[in-house]
Amino acid sequence: QVQLVESGGGLVQAGGSLRLSCAASGRAFSNYTMGWFRQAPGEERRFVAHITWGGDSTSYRTSVKGRFTISRDNAKNTVYLQMNSLQPEDTAVYYCAARTAYGVSRLRASYDYWGQGTQVTVSS
């Protein structure tokens, strides 16, 4: 199976930046669609961004477009989420996820492996 471990979360002031990393171990990381989701207290886990196995296509939820960038380095089995111009509403636990099936998806149920999450807190 695949194990995913997120890192890079922390406390940042509004307007600041953080870069999250997700290190993967296991079979065929380069063939997986990778996604980032987030979950604020008392709310559902929501899609943030995903990237295809080749890194040629990305997608973002509307609220983070232009501020967040997802990327991957298959040689390092790592996916990143660069977060700029952070806002208090970005505060959440951020989860890395891997989808083993062909095709991209924004649905939680479409992802097969999940990390433990990393906390991002943005102060106003």
CA–CA separation, 78 vs 41, rounded Å? Answer: 27
The pLDDT assigned to 5 comes to: 95
CA–CA separation, 44 vs 72, rounded Å? Answer: 26
Average pLDDT for 91-118: 94
The mean pLDDT value of the chain amounts to 93
Average pLDDT for 70-99: 95
Residues 64, 49 contacting (CB under 8 angstroms): yes
The pLDDT assigned to 30 comes to: 65
- pLDDT tens string 23-61: 998 776 667 899 999 999 999 999 999 999 888 899 999
Cβ neighbors of 40 (< 8 A, separation 6 or more) are 91, 92, 93
